[in-house]
Structure 1
């Protein structure tokens, strides 16, 4: 098959996709839209036979699963903030709270939404990349939320190495057909006292902007939660001055949920492509 020039529609491949395009009526698809929260207006362009050969905006795989009724699989990948160090129980960590929140927000998917916690405390970028295949790519999730950058700053990892390794991993995730949301380092007393820590926060933001990957700006959010009186410092931070406490994880889960739903809303949904593998 000859390659199709970028920017031009390309035909669907595979008999399964063709059958789905022929049998999935616009009425049936739009019925799913009625089940979505008002926050999420997918606004389909129901050109079921074609899609653009360009890098998709938003979170297209998540949007497809929401539109077609799931299942929706998410991997929360990162270090201690993902594992839930500082939380009173595993259920109070942000991944478990995110799963519960998305099930409430998308009741037509309900238990078909899963969020796997693949956080390991203390890891920097090289340790995370060593398990990227096993913990993230092999399970073939629709979305990975990657929290990164905190331990790299604390351990003196080269900023250039962090950027290059993270960018290479993001490209691998995209090549595997996985949507990605990045989560930047936290704001906390320990990182405030670490020279150059803000450069890792800025590097995560820059990678997101350069590659079109949504970024949860956790540092700004945490400052806002204090400034707006939503949490006290005791409710936000664990006693070690580095990790979050239950109150912080609860609001972080809300921010992650917003990122997922906003990313799905921003994505053009190629519904017929959902039948391909």
Structure 2
């Protein structure tokens, strides 16, 4: 049975969730979904849909997205996924041998790679999907391309005391992950680390990671498969320790992945062949079940994403245009003579509310919308969402910096 964690933490995120809602966490095939009572669901939805704390013309519900409202712990990840076509969305996986991939027959069958592949399939970007890379390669040559990326930081044999090192800290500072997945507890239980000590060590890692990031990421604490040397009651105590860490922090989620393996009797007859011959590490089927359990527990979908903006800031990217105007669009009054097609007299433009220069032409969105001076003293407005407004093969920024250049007409300057 999947565990149920009621929303006990006081926060702005929870206050926006429907009253009477329960959040379902963990278990095979578990769905994270709110179950509001009928009496309050419609009224609560109507109130939250009208809330606009930063007065930018976008409701908080739209800026946060349905998934973040339903499961606020994942807010940093859902916001990053909304921006995935323009920015890297990095997930850092921490843990011991299972995270590293022991037992898997190939990199693609590791649980980490399966989770990343699942997210890439659900949230495609405008570039080719990047393969999961280890910590060393990720820090030597960070991948700046947009889309979902996975970084495998697993180190075999580690415990809650040793699974996060200075090398991991350097990677966090450099890569700024949107979310960190901690698969931890297996070796601690075998070594009989006191539960209170285990809990304190995991909480300390979460705090340390947060201190290294400009925007603290979300954290997913995954309880792995029970080791055969450990009793059910003792194992449950370590799981409760992870749950307590999650309950104490707004951006931390607990997923009991081990429950799915218990349901399949993996430590008994193991009819699905989930555990390898060493009775410890997962087979390809085990890695697949672990990945599926984590993905199902997160219940992420494109329909539940937000606008990628901050509901507490009317201008998330600080470009001088409100988030609402950038999302809905605005009129750029300018006569544009393109190389092909009719002359545009008034063009409606939209821009990304989380990027200051949406089209990357070297001129900020606000300057393009409000107007800027050319070298000959004339003021023009150009399209913030199109790098080459007149489509003559040269970017607006280049033409604006060229003597005689004009990004609103296809006519090239003399010489």
- TM-score of the superposed pair, with normalisation by structure 1: 0.70
Matched, 1:166 2:202: yes
> Aligned Cα RMSD in Å?
3.7
Which of 144-153 and 179-188 deviates more?
179-188
Q: Provide Cα deviations, 1:128-180, integer angstroms capped at 9, x if missing partner.
A: 23344134444211111011111111122232221112112222333431111
* Gaps in structure 1 of 5+ consecutive residues: 1-5, 9-38
Aligned residue among 182, 193, 216 for 1:146 = 182
Alignment of 1:1-277 (within 5 A): 47=52, 49=54, 57-68=72-83, 69=85, 70-108=87-125, 111=129, 112-131=147-166, 132-175=168-211, 176=213, 177-192=216-231, 196-212=234-250, 213-226=252-265, 232-233=270-271, 235-262=273-300, 265=304, 270-271=309-310, 272-273=315-316, 275=354
Deviation for aligned residue 1:210 = 2.9
CA 1:44–1:62 in structure 2 vs 1: closer, same or farther (change >3 Å)?
Answer: farther
In the aligned structure 2, how far is the partner of 1:208 from the partner of 1:85?
A: 27
* Gaps in structure 2 of 5+ consecutive residues: 1-9, 13-31, 34-47, 64-70, 130-146, 318-353, 356-415
Judging by fraction of residues, say which structure has more helix: 1
Task: Report if aligned partners of 2:222, 2:254 keep a CA contact under 8 Å in 1.
Answer: yes
- TM-score of the superposed pair, with normalisation by structure 2: 0.49
Task: Report if aligned partners of 1:214, 1:259 keep a CA contact under 8 Å in 2.
Answer: no
In the aligned structure 2, how far is the partner of 1:254 from the partner of 1:215?
A: 15
Q: Provide Cα deviations, 1:237-257, integer angstroms capped at 9, x if missing partner.
A: 011111111101112112222
Task: Report if aligned partners of 2:186, 2:226 keep a CA contact under 8 Å in 1.
Answer: no
Larger radius of gyration: 2
Determine which structure has greater relative contact order: mean sequence separation of CA pairs < 8 Å that are 6+ residues apart, divided by chain length.
Answer: 1
Task: Report if aligned partners of 1:48, 1:270 keep a CA contact under 8 Å in 2.
Answer: no
Q: Which residue of 2 aligns with 1:23?
A: none
